[in-house]
Structure 1
Amino acid sequence: MSDTDLAPADETAKRDYLPAERQDMILSLLTRQSVATVPELAQLLNTTEITVRRDLTVLAKAGLLKRVRGGAMSVSDTAERIATKAALNDISSVVSERTDSGTTVRAVDGRFELPSDQPAIGVMLPEPSFFWPGVINHMHEIATRMGLRLITRESAYEEDIHEENILQEFADDPTVCGLIVAPNAHPEIGQRTWDWIARAALPTVAVERSQPLLQASFVDSVRTNHHYGVRKAATHFLERGHTRVGAAFTETPTSNQILTGWKRVVNGTDRIDCPFIIDGIMPYDTRGVDDIVATVLSSNVTALLVHSDYLAIALAQALERHGKKVPQDISLISVDGFATPSSRPLTVLRSSDRDLAQAAIHTLLHRIQNPEAAARHVYIDPMLVDRGSVVPPPTHD
Structure 2
Amino acid sequence: MADQDGPTAAGAPRSTTPRAASAHLPRARHEHLLRQVELHGSVRSARAAAELGVSEVTVRCDIVELERAGLLARVHGGAIALASAGAPQAARLLVGVVVPGTTVHFPDVVRGMESISHAQHARLVLGVSHYRPDVEEKQVARLLALGVDGLLLAPTARGRGEEEIASWITSIPVPTLLLERRFGSMALRGFDSVRTDHAHGAALAVDHFAALGHRRVALAVYDRTPTAPSVRDGHREASRRHALAAAPDVRLPKGEEDPEALEEALHALLDECAATGTTSVLVHTDDHATRLVEAALDRGLDVPRDLAVVAYDDEVAGFAPVPLTAVTPPRRALGREALRTLVERVGETGPRGPARHVELLPTLTVRRSCGPPTPASPR
Equivalent residue for 1:382, pick from 349, 358, 362: 362
Question: How many residues get paired?
Answer: 292
User: Aligned partners of 2:182 and 2:370: how far apart in 1?
Assistant: 31
> Equivalents in 1 of 2:206, 2:84: separation in Å?
45
Deviations 1:29-59 (A, max 9, x none): xxxxxxxxxxxxxxxxxxxxxxxxxxxxxxx
Per the alignment, do residues 231 and 107 of structure 1 end up closer, same or farther by CA in structure 2, a change over 3 Å counting?
farther
Aligned counterpart in structure 2 of residue 120 of structure 1, from 94, 100, 105: 94
Closer/same/farther in 2, CA of residues 216 and 314 from structure 1, 3 Å limit: closer
CA contact (8 A) 2:216 2:246 kept: yes
Paired residue secondary structure (1:123): strand
In the superposition, the TM-score normalised over structure 1's length comes to: 0.67
* Cross-structure match for 2:54: none
- Mark the CA change 1:387 to 1:172 in structure 2 (over 3 Å): closer, same or farther: same
The one of 206, 219, 228 aligned to 2:178 = 206
Distance in 2, Cα, partners of 1:277 & 1:356: 30
The residue identity in structure 1 corresponding to 2:304 is P
Letter in 2 for 1:302: T
2:277 maps to 1:300: yes
1:394 equivalent among 350, 370, 374: 374
Residue in 2 aligned with 1:148?
122
Query: Where in structure 2 are the equivalents of 1:286-325 lying within 5 Å?
Result: 286-325=263-302
Which residue pairs with 2:254 in the alignment?
282
Whole-Å Cα distance in 2 between the matches of residues 127 and 267 of structure 1?
35
Residue identity matched to 2:331: D
> Is the contact made by 1:184 and 1:190 (CA closer than 8 Å) also made in structure 2?
no
Give runs of aligned pairs for residues 1-397 of structure 1, distance below 5 A: 106=83, 118-157=92-131, 159=132, 161-174=134-147, 176-188=148-160, 193-211=165-183, 213=185, 215=187, 218-251=190-223, 252-270=225-243, 272-283=244-255, 284=259, 285-340=262-317, 341-370=319-348, 372-396=352-376
Contact 2:100–2:128 (CA under 8 A) maintained in structure 1: yes
Q: 1 CA distance for matches of 2:231 and 2:299?
A: 28
Instruction: Return 5+ residue gaps in structure 2 as ranges.
Output: 1-38, 42-79
| Equivalent residue, structure 2, for 1:18 | none
Q: Is the 8 A contact 1:134 1:353 kept in 2?
A: yes
Deviations 1:252-293 (A, max 9, x none): 2211111112112223341x2242221244343222222111
Q: Please tell me whether the aligned partners of residues 223 and 380 of structure 1 are also in contact (alpha carbons under 8 angstroms).
A: yes
Larger CA deviation: 211-220 vs 261-270: 211-220
Cα distance in 2 between the residues matched to 1:181 and 1:213? 16
Partner SS state of residue 389, structure 1: coil
Q: CA deviation at 1:223?
A: 0.9
Report the CA distance shift for 1:382/1:216 in structure 2 as closer, same or farther (over 3 A): closer
1:190-233 CA distance string (max 9 Å, x none): 86554321112211111111236354662111111112112211
The aligned amino acid for 2:371 is: V
Give the Cα–Cα distance (whole angstroms) in 2 for the partners of residues 244 and 212 of structure 1.
Answer: 31
Residues 162-201 of structure 1, C-alpha deviation per residue, up to 9 Å, x if partnerless? 3112112222233x21110111131418865543211122
- 1:118-149 superposed Cα distances (whole Å, 9 cap, x missing partner): 42111011221123222212211211222111
Residues 161 and 189, structure 1, Cα contact 8 Å, conserved in 2 = no
Residues 107 and 113 of structure 1 are in contact (CA less than 8 Å); yes or no, is this contact kept in structure 2?
A: no
Confirm or deny: 8 A CA contact 1:245 1:301 kept in the other structure: yes
Q: What's the CA shift for 1:344?
A: 2.8
Change over 3 Å in CA distance of 1:113–1:264 after alignment to 2: farther
CA distance in 1, matches of 2:188, 2:121: 34
Which ranges of structure 1 fall in alignment gaps of 5 or more residues? 4-102
> What's the counterpart of residue 29 of structure 2?
none
Secondary structure, counterpart of 1:249 in structure 2: strand
Whose radius of gyration is greater, 1 or 2?
2
Letter in structure 1 aligned against 2:195: R
Root mean square deviation, CA, Å: 3.0
Instruction: Return the alpha-carbon distance in structure 2 between the equivalents of residues 318 and 113 of structure 1.
Output: 55
For 1:286-324, what per-residue CA distance to the aligned partner results, in whole angstroms no more than 9, with x for missing partners?
222221111111111111111001211121111222232
Asked if the contact 2:162/2:185 (under 8 Å) is kept, the reply is no
SS at the partner of 1:164? helix
Post-superposition offset of 1:160? 6.4
TM-score calculated relative to the size of structure 2:
0.69
Shift of 1:235: 2.0
Cα 1:105–1:351 change in 2 (3 A) is farther
Contact (CA 8 Å) 2:217, 2:280: kept in 1 or not? yes
